Amino acid sequence: MSPKASGVKQVAQNRKAYHEYYILEKYEAGVELYGTEVKSIRAGNVNLKDSFCAVKNGELFTFGMHISAYEKGNIFNRDPMRPKRLLMHKREIMRLYGRIKQDGLALIPLSVYFKDSRVKLEIGLARGKKLYDKRDVAAERASERDMDRHMKIHNS
């Protein structure tokens, strides 16, 4: 028997989510996958762009999460865009569902990682940014860069 892989290994991140949304809270969820999908994720063939989560019949699903077909998987490969069920406690799902319905928030996948050989999905409870908010963040970042550059020039 081989020892269990320990630690956390980041596989994919949804950078667009941080640009499009304010992330209010973060949660960890397991993902129900098939063997070839896990092998494909291990190879880094996963894309979270334009993906979202929703509650359906009391269960949490992620839509738009693209897991490329495993090249050696032949007939065992699944549809890359199929909805994947997320594994969380029922009361957590119901609490999130209430927040989404009441406050008009969204559940957005932020990253996929391995935690002790299990695939985990970090999801964020998010509020959408307006266009002017995105501009403010970009301007702030640019001014910070300019200040750093100015300090570097004058301090050397």
Mean pLDDT over 54-60 rounds to 88
Task: Please give the class, per CATH, of domain 8-129.
Answer: mainly beta
Query: Is 25 or 1 the better-scoring residue by pLDDT?
Result: 25
Query: Encoding tokens for residue 105?
Result: 């928030």
Entry pTM: 0.75
Quote the pLDDT of residue 131: 82
Query: Encoding tokens for residue 109?
Result: 């996948």
Domain ranges of the chain: 8-129
Query: Is 34 or 52 the better-scoring residue by pLDDT?
Result: 52
Percentage above 70 pLDDT, the chain: 92
Q: What is the pLDDT of residues 70-95, one digit of tens each?
A: 777 676 677 777 888 889 999 998 99
One-letter amino acid of 23 = I
Task: Tell me how far apart the 2 most distant CA atoms of the chain are, in Å.
Answer: 63
